[in-house]
Structure 1
Amino acid sequence: MRARGLLGMGVQPGQRVLLMAPNSVEWAMMDFAILAVGAATVPAYPSYGP
């Protein structure tokens, strides 16, 4: 279902998607959804500095 939402937002295969969130089950679910549409996850954790 999350992958369908990404497609609805216009995410295309081959695009990079920034995923900024702490480690959690939801992070993993979004990562799998991004991969399912053929995009690449770019992880950014909230603890990263500017």
Structure 2
Amino acid sequence: MAKKQFPLRLDPKVYEALERWAGDEFRSVNSHIELLLREALKRAGRLKPEEQE
């Protein structure tokens, strides 16, 4: 599955906080944002079981 690319505008302070958090967990900012979004989607019941991996 190819990943969808799109521009994302963030407040610089939000980006800096994400960058620190991602670094603490040895991830890129991009992969950390994807992880956070996936977790939020799971909690909200918005992902089908086959999409949760």
Give the TM-score band, short-chain normalised.
Answer: 0.3 to 0.5
For the pair shown, which has the larger CA radius of gyration, 1 or 2? 2
TM-score, normalising length from structure 1? Answer: 0.35
Report which of the two has the higher share of helix: 2
Question: Relative contact order (C-alpha < 8 Å, sep 6+): which is higher?
Answer: 1
TM-score, normalising length from structure 2? Answer: 0.33
